[in-house]
A and B are shown apart, each in its own frame.
Chain A
């Protein structure tokens, strides 16, 4: 127990020493708070249309200006954060559940099971999943829950590989062999010995999956195949920004900036977490 807590506190110290990661983490925290409290923070309604107002450049009244329908852009970005971050976390969660279970089973049982399961992962890796997500969205309607499931179902592959690798290493360590000799059941083995020891890499990779998932969602929303109005994610906002960028460039620039900064923050935080939890693997 002592050993473990010192591992985590070591990692925590290393993380705090990494300025980029700390900055990324703080930006994320701020965004999450803003997203959660959007209804109280937003100065205007995100859906109230004021056609007389039209598109206004940023002013003291409308911090980031308004869109062509007279809606406050700042409020829309705040509400967009809710959708974008929700997709990021939920779809990553789906990917985690599938990837971790797949990786643990393959790595732990090994042999034929492992080679069949990993061969499946290899084959799936080579497929153009963006196309399949679009296909699913077209066939089953543009539903936000389907979007979560579809993105999650795509992003689990790397997670499965990483977890399997970790499990293979842990499996051959003496304490696991000792536990096996004592007749510990498989379920207990997963819970008590394997799972706690792969938490680090899982946390790291999950953090790095979130920006990929958010990109994928924004990509679909940009094409008009993702989040549907009146809900809007950052991808949707960028889509509308592009449509009217010639006259009203702020409609593209601010949502774009917010999105890029968020991805930056997530990537820096994830990289920092990786360096902190596993100093051996450095970024390539």
Chain B
């Protein structure tokens, strides 16, 4: 068990290093220097600028320095916001993004698992069809459409919820969390329905029923653990999607999170910021995938011995 986890970690570390290196060279391949957009500056100023940002060194030295700083958690200075470091910006935005993602996942899990389990237990009834149709709509309706529509209805038409912002008010968090969570609720509903259907047809469930356990106990005590494995293994990869979704949701609702910083950096061609955030996001996602792999191993004894 421990060996399996260590093996996964041993794979993850070189992957992160490769991602960081590839991103570094890709960004350095970008046509034009980071200061091209500004006014023409005297050559001496340009030279000094390049020296400050370590752009005058040979590429391989720049790479060595960047990786060396990276390992110490230093992502370098931002090209667009002089005086601010990328690390600083990442850690200003991250808590906000995490908070948003956390609410979204909670919304998604509660709605998704509830709908999926009910649909599986009441298979081929109205309680199966309606949630699954809504789930299909949830999957087809992109975040960048759902968010504005919710704003249009609840924020502008009914005027019951704020249309943007991210302050201490609880109302601020409702629409963004639902917007981000909706698609995941839909996926989780489908996955948990599928998982539960499979588990409910297993022999040990029949045994539990034959013992005379009431149905709700059969489901809660016996079926859920097996039935929700697909959901848990989905949660790791889902964080990747959540981050993509946070780009959209944070842009729509003007939330000062890392996702919006990234989109802004992409617009402003703030290369160091893009580079740093890309590496950071990749590491984060690889880490969450690792966590969900481990959680699946813990939940499923058979996978434990196979792996």
Contact = CB atoms under 8 A, between A and B. Distances in A.
Interface of A: 123, 125-132, 134-141, 211, 215, 218-219, 222-225, 235, 238-239, 241-242, 245-246, 249, 252-253, 256, 259-260, 263-264, 267, 284
A216 to B, nearest CB: 9
Interface in B158-200: 190-191, 193-194
A256 B149 CA distance: 9
A267 B269 CA distance: 36
Contact of B11 (A123, A134, A135, A138): A123
Given A223-B248, A223-B263, A224-B267, 14 more contacts: A130-B240, A131-B243, A135-B27, A136-B26, A211-B140, A218-B144, A235-B144, A242-B148, A246-B156, A256-B145, A260-B137, A264-B136, A267-B139, A267-B140
Contacts of A224: 267
B154 interface: no
Interface in B114-158: 136-137, 139-145, 148-149, 151-152, 156
A222 B144 contact: yes
B85 interface: no
B26 A139 contact: yes
Nearest to A242: B148
A219 B190 CA distance: 23
Contacts of B152: 245-246, 249, 252
Contacts of B278: 131-132, 135
Contacts of B243: 128, 130-131
Contact of A139 (B29, B240, B282): B29
B21 interface: no
A258 to B, nearest CB: 11
Interface of B: 11, 15, 19, 23, 26-27, 29-31, 136-137, 139-145, 148-149, 151-152, 156, 190-191, 193-194, 230, 236-237, 240, 243-244, 247-248, 251-252, 262-263, 266-267, 269, 274, 277-278, 281-282, 285-286, 289
Contacts of B262: 131, 134
Given A123-B15, A126-B15, A134-B266, A252 B194 contact: no
A224 B144 CA distance: 12
B282 A223 contact: no
Given A223-B251, A260-B145, A131 B282 contact: yes
Contact of B148 (A139, A218, A252): A252
B105 to A, nearest CB: 17
A130 B140 contact: no
Nearest to B183: A215
Contacts of B251: 223
22 contacts: A123-B15, A125-B237, A130-B243, A131-B262, A131-B277, A134-B262, A134-B266, A138-B30, A139-B26, A219-B143, A222-B142, A222-B248, A223-B247, A235-B144, A238-B148, A241-B148, A242-B148, A252-B148, A260-B140, A263-B141, A263-B142, A284-B191
B190 A284 contact: yes
Nearest to A214: B142
A238 B145 contact: yes
A126 B13 CA distance: 13
Contacts of A125: 237
A260 to B, nearest CB: 5
Nearest to A125: B237
Contact of B285 (A126, A215, A253, A267): A126
Contact of B145 (A126, A140, A259, A264): A259
A260 B141 contact: yes
| Residue of A127, A224, A264, A267 most packed against chain B (CB within 10 A) | A127
B270 to A, nearest CB: 9
Contacts of A223: 247-248, 251, 263, 266
A127 B141 contact: no
Contacts of B248: 219, 222-223
A245 B152 CA distance: 7
B282 A128 contact: yes
Contacts of A249: 152
A256 B269 CA distance: 29
A82 B173 CA distance: 37
A139 B236 CA distance: 28
B166 to A, nearest CB: 18
A126 B286 contact: yes
Contacts of A246: 152, 156
A218 B145 CA distance: 10
A211 B136 CA distance: 13
Contacts of A126: 15, 236-237, 240, 285-286, 289
Nearest to A135: B278
A139 B139 contact: no
Contacts of B139: 267
B145 to A, nearest CB: 5
B285 A135 contact: no
A138 B269 contact: yes
A235 B148 CA distance: 13
A238 B252 CA distance: 12
Contact of A238 (B29, B30, B136, B144): B144
A160 to B, nearest CB: 16
A235 B145 CA distance: 9
B154 to A, nearest CB: 13
B10 to A, nearest CB: 13
Given A134-B266, A219-B248, A128 B140 contact: no
